[in-house]
Amino acid sequence: MGRNFGRPVRRLEDGRFIQGNGRFVDDVILPRQTYAAFVRSPYAHARITGLDAAPALQMPGVVRVMTAADLAGAPDMPCGWMIHSRDGAEMKVGSRPLLASDTVRYVGEPVAVVVAESRDQARDAAEAVAVDYDELPVVVDCGDAMAPGMPQLHPAISDNLAYDWELGDEAAVDAALAVAAHRVELTLRNNRLIPNAMEPRACNADWDAQDEKLTVWMTHQNPFGMRTLYSAYYGLAAEHSLRIVSPDVGGGFGAKAPNYPEEVVVAFAAKLVRRPVKWTADRTEAFLTDAHGRDHLTTATLGLDAEGRFLALKVDTIANMGGYLSTTGSLIPTYMYGTMLSGQYVIPAIHCRTRAVYTNTCPVDAYRGAGRPEAAYVVERIVNVAARAIGVDQAEIRRRNFIRDFPYQTPVLFEYDSGDYEGSLNQALALSDYAGFPARKAEAAARGKLRGIGVAAYVEACGIGPSAILAKLGGGAGMWDSAEVRVNPVGTVEVLSGAHSHGQGHATTLAQLVADRFGVPIESIRIVQGDTDRIQAGTGTYGSRASVGMSATFNACEKIIAKGRRICAHLLQVPEDSVRFADGVFASAATNKTIPFGEMAAAAHAANAFPTREIEPGLVESSFFDPPNFTYPSGVYVAEVEIDPLTGVTEVAAFSAADDFGIIANPMIVEGQIHGGLTQGIGQALWEECRYDPDTAQLITASYLDYGMPRADGLPEFRLAFGCAPSPSNPLGMKGCGEAGAIGSPPAVINAICDALAIDHLDMPARPEKVWRLLHPKAAG
């Protein structure tokens, strides 16, 4: 721990936000601003038989109406991750134009865009665009998508099947299951979620004819990836003539990482109308079109020996992709999912089959955890079903099966780097007073309440990722990250970061790191993020991968210090290898003189005290860090619930989380990440569920009136503890903490509910009526 690093330093960026000086995309109004409104399909599946923009063009303030015809040269939306089916065939990609021209495949799919002088005028005119549709039958449920006779979404893709993928040794699994002393089977759904970052998607595109440059302000988790796509793929402008700015991003949770059609269309529109075009989604559009998360239907079988040791796990999953494959939609239920099915346990044989199917729903992509929560849910649920079947305590069955030796090669590709699973379990049991639970259960019973306790252990893969490994798995882009550290003549420091905060506080944590490395006040450091004109390259923030950008920053700092030592060797007239740097001061055993970091910076720029043919003037260093492996954060969570048997309402009475994130940069920020993740996971377990009408595929949960968001009053105060098994995969020993809470909490809550009700399983969310019906099976209806 340094003076800053490792401590709960208050956030440097907060001053702006608490005074209303945050800058989100919709806050930007450019000179000659115009506004875009999209014409969206009201049907989930229909053929477009006619489109007449003429009435809209007559409306006041309309600048332009664009349809697919105006984008004739633009390529279809790409899917960025190639998955091969088990027979070796490439996945089948249904073509997805920027604007639909002949068929629409989900409600809300964009069909045309109106650009007008004001937001209201754009909306008014969008309603006047006349589109004729021939409705087609729909399929909503991923369990139905492959059934004979179902509507087919894409020509030449039979059974709506995008791919049929597998991982692991099926024969070995079958053989082990055949001789297992115990076998348990479980069918479950992982409910579809709507990410709901509070800031809706927004963009503002401006073509500057004088500079021949396109600037796109966009609320996004990865502006660099967007620049590459917009230039190399869409040809909107060459990379050096294209600037993507993601200023403050109001939450992302994965849903601001994909490439979406609306933003691309707005960029094309700006070039066409030669004026800035702004689009800000309203919440209804966010519900309809932000990439959704989860939506799996899974059957799993676990085999155990007579002592309750796991022998084999077989998992068969159907994953709902929605109407099209989103940017990384294909990756989530495969390499982000099947690879995590070993959980924290020694399971000698694992097999996973995933079939990804198209349905008439919004495309599905990453949402906080992305594949790993789905895996943890399967493993942690079936472990409890097994514990119940063989009569072993849920904590004890985990203890019996934990991985204890690291690195550990799982049967599903990944090699876990480090961990202390039993340590986390012990911490969690202590934190939750697991031993005292029977007394609390009895006390609740006396009040007429059913109390249950649920343990869940998770492990996840973060810090994505080793680029070469990802390429082998089908990835289309390198996943290193970058940092450029610029030390100014008077000693202030700018860090140009390829990681990009959307709430994680990089402006503080990176500054903590740099302040301690250089021994300078934290206020003298400024972190620059999210602007491709300032930062040359980066990979953005998602998948709890800030440790990658953090490591790049660390390495760049090391280069600065190395150069500082060379400069100081000249200033002190001592041999370079005698120069040490500590606590902000260069010193050498060969002299009493010392040089503070700031003086070294001044000297580097003055360039008059060292031979500039040997050492270049100036003080700028950059680093690209490509990690050798993923990092594997882990933890054990204990949820305690109380159920009112009269109404079926479940209350989370207590929640304890013991996590191991390796080295922690700022415990205050890490705790905040856990709070948010836990809340989203509890939301998934209790309230959140995206529902489409099965007959029309209309989105039923299209507003906060029907989509149950977690609020302040339904949550307990969380109890947190941290262990620390540092990751060997980066110079800082960090693992990543952004998603953990959302991964471990759904199974913990459902395990607790099942414990309270003494049942094997119920699907999320545990709506009151669902619970009530389980308790009163004879009730009417």
Residue-wise DSSP of 583-632: TTEEEETT-S-EEEHHHHHHHHHH--SS-TTTS-SS-EEEEEE--SS-B-
Q: Is 251 in the site for ligand FES (CB under 6 A)?
A: yes
Q: Considering CB under 6 A, how many residues would be counted as binding ligand FES?
A: 3
Which of ligand FES, other proteins, none binds 420 (CB below 5-8 Å, type-dependent)? none
> What is d(CA 696, CA 692) in angstroms, rounded to the nearest whole number?
8
Angle subtended at Cα 252 by Cα 247 and Cα 258, rounded to the nearest 5 degrees: 95
Q: Tell me 152's DSSP state.
A: P
> What is d(CA 316, CA 336) in angstroms, rounded to the nearest whole number?
15
Residue with tokens 């059974």: 159
Q: At what angle do helices 546-572 and 506-518 cross, to 10 degrees?
A: 30
CA atoms lying within 13 Å on the CB side of residue 734? 29
Torsion of CA 118, 122, 124, 128, to 10 degrees: 150
Binding window for other proteins (CB under 8 A); candidates: 133-141, 245-253, 372-380, 561-569: 245-253
Which of other proteins, ligand FES, none binds 200 (CB below 5-8 Å, type-dependent)? other proteins
Q: Is 474 in the site for other proteins (CB under 8 A)?
A: no
Residue 81 or 253 with smaller CB distance to ligand FES: 253
The contact pattern for other proteins, residues 636-675, with x = CB under 8 A and - = no contact, is ----------xx--------------------xx-xxx-x
To the nearest whole angstrom, how small is the minimum distance from the Cβ of residue 723 to other proteins? 21
Q: Is 705 in the site for other proteins (CB under 8 A)?
A: yes
Q: Is 19 in the site for other proteins (CB under 8 A)?
A: yes
To the nearest whole angstrom, how small is the minimum distance from the Cβ of residue 694 to other proteins? 12
Q: Is 695 in the site for other proteins (CB under 8 A)?
A: no
Residue 26 or 164 with smaller CB distance to other proteins: 26
Burial of 539 (0-12, 13-18, 19+ CB in 10 A): buried
Which two structure tokens, joined as six digits, stand for 130?
């006349």
Which of other proteins, ligand FES, none binds 233 (CB below 5-8 Å, type-dependent)? none
Which residue in 413, 620, 709, 721 binds other proteins (CB under 8 A)?
A: 709
Which residue in 96, 355, 506, 767 binds other proteins (CB under 8 A)?
A: 767
Which two structure tokens, joined as six digits, stand for 237?
């402008």
Binding window for other proteins (CB under 8 A); candidates: 76-84, 170-178, 583-591, 686-694: 686-694
To the nearest whole angstrom, how small is the minimum distance from the Cβ of residue 201 to other proteins? 12
- Report the site for other proteins in 379-438 (rule: CB under 8 A): none
> What is d(CA 97, CA 103) in angstroms, rounded to the nearest whole number?
10
- Report residue 193: phi and psi, to 5°: -125, 155
Give the dihedral sign, CA 324/328/331/333.
negative
Q: Considering CB under 8 A, how many residues would be counted as binding other proteins?
A: 82
To the nearest whole angstrom, how small is the minimum distance from the Cβ of residue 477 to other proteins? 25
Binding window for other proteins (CB under 8 A); candidates: 277-285, 404-412, 434-442, 492-500: 277-285
> Which of 340, 342, 298, 305 is closest to 183 using CA atoms?
305
Which residue in 183, 213, 283, 559 binds other proteins (CB under 8 A)?
A: 283
Which of ligand FES, other proteins, none binds 769 (CB below 5-8 Å, type-dependent)? other proteins
To the nearest whole angstrom, how small is the minimum distance from the Cβ of residue 124 to other proteins? 7
> What is d(CA 42, CA 261) in angstroms, rounded to the nearest whole number?
17
> Which helix H or strand E contains 289, and what residues bound it?
helix 283-289
Burial of 240 (0-12, 13-18, 19+ CB in 10 A): exposed
> What is d(CA 704, CA 282) in angstroms, rounded to the nearest whole number?
12
Residue 508 or 524 with smaller CB distance to ligand FES: 508
Give the dihedral sign, CA 499/504/507/512.
negative
Q: Is 247 in the site for ligand FES (CB under 6 A)?
A: no
Which residue in 87, 307, 614, 717 binds other proteins (CB under 8 A)?
A: 717
Q: Is 15 in the site for other proteins (CB under 8 A)?
A: yes
Other CB atoms within 10 A of residue 653 CB: 18
The contact pattern for other proteins, residues 506-525, with x = CB under 8 A and - = no contact, is --------------------
Which of ligand FES, other proteins, none binds 608 (CB below 5-8 Å, type-dependent)? none
Which of other proteins, ligand FES, none binds 156 (CB below 5-8 Å, type-dependent)? none
Q: Is 13 in the site for other proteins (CB under 8 A)?
A: yes
Contact 322, 363 (CB under 8 A): yes
Q: Is 32 in the site for other proteins (CB under 8 A)?
A: no
Binding window for other proteins (CB under 8 A); candidates: 282-290, 321-329, 347-355, 439-447: 282-290
Contact 50, 112 (CB under 8 A): no
Which two structure tokens, joined as six digits, stand for 612?
């500039």
Q: Where are the alpha helices (DSSP H) in 447-593?
A: 467-472, 506-518, 546-572
Contact 205, 234 (CB under 8 A): no
Q: Is 475 in the site for other proteins (CB under 8 A)?
A: no
Q: Is 503 in the site for ligand FES (CB under 6 A)?
A: yes
Which of ligand FES, other proteins, none binds 212 (CB below 5-8 Å, type-dependent)? none
Q: With DSSP H G I counted as helix, E B as strand and the rest as coil, what are the percentages for the chain, rounded to 5?
A: 30, 25, 45
Which residue in 31, 50, 155, 781 binds other proteins (CB under 8 A)?
A: 781
Torsion of CA 601, 604, 610, 616, to 10 degrees: 140
Residue 468 or 704 with smaller CB distance to ligand FES: 704
> Which of 736, 632, 637 is closest to 685 using CA atoms?
637
> What is d(CA 427, CA 139) in angstroms, rounded to the nearest whole number?
46
To the nearest whole angstrom, how small is the minimum distance from the Cβ of residue 250 to ligand FES? 6
Residue 199 or 621 with smaller CB distance to other proteins: 199
- Report the site for ligand FES in 154-213 (rule: CB under 6 A): 198
Contact 727, 631 (CB under 8 A): yes
Binding window for other proteins (CB under 8 A); candidates: 484-492, 592-600, 685-693, 756-764: 685-693
Closest CB to ligand FES: residue number: 198
Residue 508 or 629 with smaller CB distance to other proteins: 508
To the nearest whole angstrom, how small is the minimum distance from the Cβ of residue 502 to ligand FES? 9
Which residue in 137, 708, 726, 728 binds other proteins (CB under 8 A)?
A: 708
C-alpha 37: how far from its chain's center? Answer: 28
The contact pattern for ligand FES, residues 732-771, with x = CB under 6 A and - = no contact, is ----------------------------------------
To the nearest whole angstrom, how small is the minimum distance from the Cβ of residue 712 to ligand FES? 11
- Report the site for other proteins in 185-224 (rule: CB under 8 A): 196-200
The contact pattern for other proteins, residues 79-98, with x = CB under 8 A and - = no contact, is --------------------
> What is d(CA 120, CA 32) in angstroms, rounded to the nearest whole number?
16
Which residue in 70, 109, 124, 640 binds other proteins (CB under 8 A)?
A: 124
- Residue numbers of the site for ligand FES (CB under 6 A)? 198, 251, 503
